[in-house]
Structure 1
Amino acid sequence: MGRPRAFDTEAALDIAMRHFWNEGYAAARLDDICDEAGLSKPSLYAAFGDKDALYEKALERYAEVFKGRVIGALEGAASAAEMVEGYFSEVAAILTDRKLPLGCLRVNTSSECAESRPALAKAAEVQRSGTRDHLRALLQNYGLDSRSAQEMAQFMITLSDGLAAGARAGATPGQTRTTARLAAQSVSNLL
């Protein structure tokens, strides 16, 4: 039986998540992640596997933290329009938080990995689909039929991905918040 891990795996994943988010998959260096986490490469590999596996675990950690934060903000909304407003408001709050890297980890890296690392792009798409399905279920709870809820959820994800890409490309916090408000109004007008 091996020795128990002598490091905080969540803290190490948070460090890896920030490197992938900031630098992209290809540019993120395991040496830098190990140095910041205070780990040797063998310890990192033993805990998480290779770079692809570490990225997938970092993406799961990202979903746990940020999808949970966004979806949590929607609980208890009095109407579908209020839920939509809460969704875009929370997305904008994350995208304009200067303590966080720019954009969205999933959006930033999924197109980068599409051809060179299709399994990682697939993992990102699974995460996107999970968020879309959660939004669809919430919209159905507010009375939208299955097809309309699916279409609206897809539209919401597409708009929020665009917000994330814009934030990464240099949109100011004010521009991001304004665009999020307009996105919420657009979706609400279609409900």
Structure 2
Amino acid sequence: MGRLMLIFLMVVAFFLITLTGCISSPQVNPSLKIIETEEGSIFHPLENAIGALESDDGMRLARLPIYTIHTIIGENVTKEGDAKTWILAVKAEKPFYFIYSGGGFTTMDWHENNPGHAINLNKIILPSELLSQNPQRINSLYSGRSSGIRELELNNGKYHIRGFSDGIEWQYTYDAVTGKEIS
């Protein structure tokens, strides 16, 4: 009789834990845009990273509702402006890097004494807009065998795009408000 009671209690405990969400999988936000390429790699627009930062979990990390973003870096960027990983340098009560990839986000301490100007997300163009405004240049960056945008960085009002084409490193700089190339 004791063994049957133990099994019954284990089944009840299992259902209670499962129904309360203690071991359920995380909910997927249907508004997030996820792109899967033929190679199976997943790329995300900057808006997903910002949305994750602004979510309840991300804001708890900032500790205060007042925070500023000082640098945005996209790694392995597509022609459309989506990146495999987004890194945001966030100045809050305790500054941190907010690192977003499709699987979620993580943070690291940010020890920067001179963070530069805060980014006003309402005044800049998004990476997707920047790249679509400069199609000839962008298409030429993807024409080589091992080419493409390795890194897209936004800070102090400028986008810097960097990469390699046939073993040669290149960099172009654009105004973050207008999208015009800066010589």
Q: Which has the larger radius of gyration?
A: 2
The interval holding the TM-score normalised by the smaller chain is under 0.3
- Structure number with greater CO (CA < 8 Å, separation at least 6) is 1
| Larger fraction in helix | 1
| Larger fraction in strand | 2
TM-score when normalising by structure 1: 0.25
